[in-house]
């Protein structure tokens, strides 16, 4: 068994251009996940050309997952509160859908991220996000998206092409990781959305199993695949996905500009 620990590989997301660039905003951006990553820096080779990632949303079980979040730096850890990810059946404008909601509460960080996706293909329908005074809203139609961002720095309209199967936000990535047929040495590719005040772009993203781990989190001890999600050369995440009844029980995200700090989420409860 190859054991991979959270701090063994550096990783992930930087501050959104549509949010302030103070250090805690960098942490907020790390929370937003590989999907929907909004401007980041990392030290990895570019991902290969992306293709459409196909999953069967009808197999997704509903659920709610509560994680404790910690900013780890060297040998210290600072509690950042909790993040709660909810996956529930819904409807959007008469279309059968899943609603993925990620809410963050506690020390210094608060925000809500909501995404409606089509129930079988997980095609995105509508995305809204709030971090402090920053707002994002996008409507998806076929191969395009339109909407806008607002923040103290200004407002911006967005109209952009979106490739099929694009990963949109953190909760969507968690859901997709529950559905993928992952196993030892498995890998695939997709696209990730990147949003800023300048507009919306897509990043080719590589998803690969890099090891296995028996990991202990507050919710218990789990045998997991360790999955790397790398978006081009700008963002990378590690996710511990259980081998049976797949769920994400742990993730570790690098916070650029904070000298090797990582944003770590650990499962506390599942409903």
Give the pLDDT confidence score for residue 4 in this predicted structure: 46
Given the structure tokens 């997952």, which residue do they identify?
A: 65
Chain segment 98-152, per-residue pLDDT in tens? 999 999 988 666 789 999 999 999 999 999 999 888 889 999 998 899 998 888 8
Q: List alpha helices for the chain, DSSP H.
A: 23-31, 170-179
Which of 252, 212, 245 minimizes the C-alpha distance to 229?
252
Task: Confirm whether pTM is higher than 0.85.
Answer: no
Chain segment 234-260, per-residue pLDDT in tens? 677 899 999 999 999 999 987 777 777
Chain segment 175-216, per-residue pLDDT in tens? 999 999 999 999 999 998 887 656 688 889 999 999 999 999
- Of residues 44 and 267, more confidence is placed in 267
Distance (Å, whole) CA 129 – CA 149: 9
Annotated domain spans of the chain: 6-270
**Assigned token pair, 240:** 């511990």
């Amino acid at each position: 068994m190859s054991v991979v620990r959270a701090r063994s590989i550096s990783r992930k997301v930087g501050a959104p251009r549509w949010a302030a660039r103070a250090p805690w905003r960098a942490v907020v951006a790390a929370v937003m996940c590989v999907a929907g990553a909004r401007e980041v820096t990392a030290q990895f080779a570019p991902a290969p050309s992306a293709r459409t990632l196909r999953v069967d949303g009808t197999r997704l079980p509903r659920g709610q997952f509560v994680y404790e979040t910690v900013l780890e730096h060297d040998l210290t850890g600072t509690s950042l509160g909790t993040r709660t990810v909810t996956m529930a059946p819904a409807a959007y404008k008469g279309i059968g859908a899943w609603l993925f909601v990620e809410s963050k509460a506690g020390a210094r960080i608060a925000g809500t991220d909501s995404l409606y996706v089509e129930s079988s293909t997980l095609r995105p329908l509508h995305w809204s996000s709030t971090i402090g005074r920053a707002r994002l809203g996008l409507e998806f139609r076929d191969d395009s998206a339109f909407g806008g961002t607002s923040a103290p720095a200004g407002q911006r309209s967005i109209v952009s092409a979106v490739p099929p199967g694009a990963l949109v936000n953190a909760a969507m990535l968690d859901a997709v990781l529950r559905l993928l047929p992952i196993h030892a040495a498995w890998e695939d590719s997709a696209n990730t959305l990147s949003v800023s005040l300048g507009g919306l772009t897509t990043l080719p993203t590589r998803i690969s199993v890099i090891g296995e781990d028996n990991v202990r989190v507050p919710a218990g001890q789990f045998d997991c695949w360790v999955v790397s999600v790398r978006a081009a050369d700008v963002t990378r995440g590690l996710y511990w996905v259980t081998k049976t009844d797949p769920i994400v029980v742990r993730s570790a995200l690098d916070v650029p500009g904070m000298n090797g700090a990582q944003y770590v989420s650990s499962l506390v409860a599942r409903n």
